[in-house]
Amino acid sequence: VMHDANEVTLDKMAEYTQSEDIIARYEAYGWETYEIDGHDLDAVEKTLAAAKASKNGKPKFIKCNTIIGKGVEEVEGTNAAHGEAGVPYVDGARKGLGLPDEKWFVSPGTKDFFKGVQDKNKATYDEWQTTYAAWAAANPDLSKQLTDAVEDNVPTAEELCATIPVMDAPTEATRVSGYKIIQEISKAIPQYISGSADLHGSTRNYIDNGGNFGSGFDKTYAGKNMYFGIREHAMGSILNGIAYHGLFKASGSTFAVFVDYFRPTIRVACLAELNRVSWILTHDSIGVGEDGPTHQPVETVSGLRVFPNLDVYRPGDAEETVAAFASSVSRKEGPTALIFSRQNIVQNDAMPAAERRAGALKGGYIAKKETADLDIIIIATGSELQHAIEVGAAMPGARVVSMPCTSAYDRQSDEYKESVLPTAITKRVAMEAGVSALWWKYVGTNGKVVGVDRFGFSAPGDIVMKELGMTAENLKSVVDSM
């Protein structure tokens, strides 16, 4: 890393707002450090050569001390040079530095140098292609695996759903279901790796027999499990870097409420459409229980749903969790957040597993069809789906719609959406153990939302759920009031 140290920030000179010793900081990180005059080209060249020649395994940090706006006397060495203040003086500065009037001048010597670099690189490239072709011919299976990883060739979500065995899950949390499913994902996609910010035991995304990544202890660089430590932001940044590199698919896990520690990295992944990234975010709601409101993410899931290019899946049972995982590793348009519960969930076994998976891939589907004239639609997601199904089962005219991923549902055709949520039926209720705001889009002004528009409190999860209305009984009372 070459660090331009001009000692300037936009508002003030750097010494006004900070006092860190950046060399000491990077030495403490375990980097090898250098400090040079960034305007001394001989020093730059010699230091780069020394850094490249050093084979001690440490990353290299070169602090290049520079003068911002050098040559523009009116702003040189001041924070005024940080913005546009120096623009009026550019032409004069060019003359003072002996530069030609042509603004985008490239000297013949520079052009000749890069022509030589291009020829050298072409020779190196051709040599590599010959070596690679010989290796690929001798190792066809490994070659295919590498090509698939580079080109992001993976089975479709539908293919993955067809190959992962039916879960036949008992009443269990989706984080537990997720642990079973990630083993199948790892088998189907060899380049899939995962990690956790110090919460493997809770988030349950450890890949069995995958080994641990790194050096020392029991770690190797062939490991599929990454231990990020208590560093959520670093985890998010590393996952983005892996995705930018373009070989592996990578996921990282923590509690959903800790999303705010690495939200900027999620935004970057969404902005850059990094489809190779996903996040496994467990302990999804007030169902967290005793840890209290600091750990109960009432606003977090909706806060993720508003990101463009991000699919947020909050599955309502094990089979929907299969679809969520399958979508996360096969999607091409952007990253995916998988929101899993700590609390146990009753499985919707009245509906075949294949239908639940197919429906979840569409983002929303009919989880329980009416048996009489359609009168009311109950929409639910995650652990609240079980309550909707319980209430709907006793109402012949009730349709229950599971909506594990609102963005995936929104991308469906108008015909499909009309088949699930007919516009003629305005009597609708949505239920989720989180803030209610985003659900009004689906229930309309004549509908109602059973949500949690406040912070929770510390108590066992089932008590918090009951006190804040996340029960079948409360849902029924709301339905009956319409």
* Tens-digit pLDDT profile for residues 141-158: 999 999 999 999 999 999
| Active-site choice (232, 370, 384, 432) | 232
- Of the candidates 408, 405, 173, the residue with the CA atom closest to the CA atom of residue 282: 173
Q: Which long-range contacts (CB under 8 A, 24 or more apart) does 470-474 make?
A: 470/285, 470/286, 470/287, 470/383, 470/384, 470/387, 470/431, 470/433, 471/387, 472/386, 472/387, 472/390, 472/391, 474/450
Read off the amino acid at residue 320: E
Residues of the chain with pLDDT under 50: none
Distance CA(405)–CA(388), nearest Å, equals 17
| Residues 6+ away with beta carbon under 8 Å from 237 | 262, 265
Distance CA(86)–CA(79), nearest Å, equals 10
Strand partners, 34: 62
Task: Give the pLDDT score at 85.
Answer: 67
Structure confidence by residue, pLDDT tens digits, 390-434:
999 999 999 999 999 999 999 999 999 999 999 999 999 999 999
Q: Find out whether 259 and 270 touch, Cβ atoms under 8 Å.
A: no
The Cβ of residue 130 has, within 10 Å, a number of other Cβ atoms equal to 10
Stated pTM of the model: 0.93
- Quickly list DSSP for 442-454: HH-TT-EEE---S
Q: Find out whether 323 and 157 touch, Cβ atoms under 8 Å.
A: yes
Task: Give the pLDDT score at 116.
Answer: 84
Q: Find out whether 262 and 279 touch, Cβ atoms under 8 Å.
A: no
| Residues 6+ away with beta carbon under 8 Å from 239 | 195, 250, 251, 252, 265, 269, 277, 279
- Of the candidates 266, 322, 302, the residue with the CA atom closest to the CA atom of residue 436: 302
- Of the candidates 283, 289, 230, the residue with the CA atom closest to the CA atom of residue 466: 289
How would you classify residue 70: left for phi > 0, otherwise alpha for psi between -120 and 50, otherwise beta?
Answer: beta
18 CB burial (10 A radius; 0-12, 13-18, 19+): exposed
Cα dihedral sign, 313-314-316-318? positive
Task: Give the pLDDT score at 113.
Answer: 87
Residue 291 has what DSSP assignment?
A: T
140 to 135, 144, 145, 146, 147: CA distances (angstroms) = 8, 6, 9, 10, 10
- Of the candidates 220, 221, 234, the residue with the CA atom closest to the CA atom of residue 29: 234
Task: Give the pLDDT score at 155.
Answer: 97
| Residues 6+ away with beta carbon under 8 Å from 246 | 150, 152, 276
Distance CA(310)–CA(338), nearest Å, equals 11
Compute the radius of gyration of the chain from its Cα atoms. 28
Residue 97 has what DSSP assignment?
A: T
Q: Find out whether 236 and 265 touch, Cβ atoms under 8 Å.
A: yes
- Quickly list DSSP for 22-90: HHHHHHHHT-EEEEEETT-HHHHHHHHHHHHH--SS--EEEEEE--TTTT-TTTTTSGGGGTTTTGGGH
Task: Give the pLDDT score at 96.
Answer: 81
Distance CA(315)–CA(47), nearest Å, equals 54
Query: Does residue 232 have an active-site annotation?
Result: yes
Distance CA(20)–CA(63), nearest Å, equals 13
Distance CA(419)–CA(413), nearest Å, equals 10
- Of the candidates 222, 234, 237, 228, the residue with the CA atom closest to the CA atom of residue 205: 228
Task: Give the pLDDT score at 61.
Answer: 98
The Cβ of residue 365 has, within 10 Å, a number of other Cβ atoms equal to 24
Q: Output helix, strand, coil percentages for the chain, rounded to the nearest 5.
A: 45, 15, 40
Distance CA(291)–CA(464), nearest Å, equals 11
Dihedral, 92, 94, 99, 104 alpha carbons, nearest 10: -120
Distance CA(321)–CA(107), nearest Å, equals 60
Task: Give the pLDDT score at 89.
Answer: 84
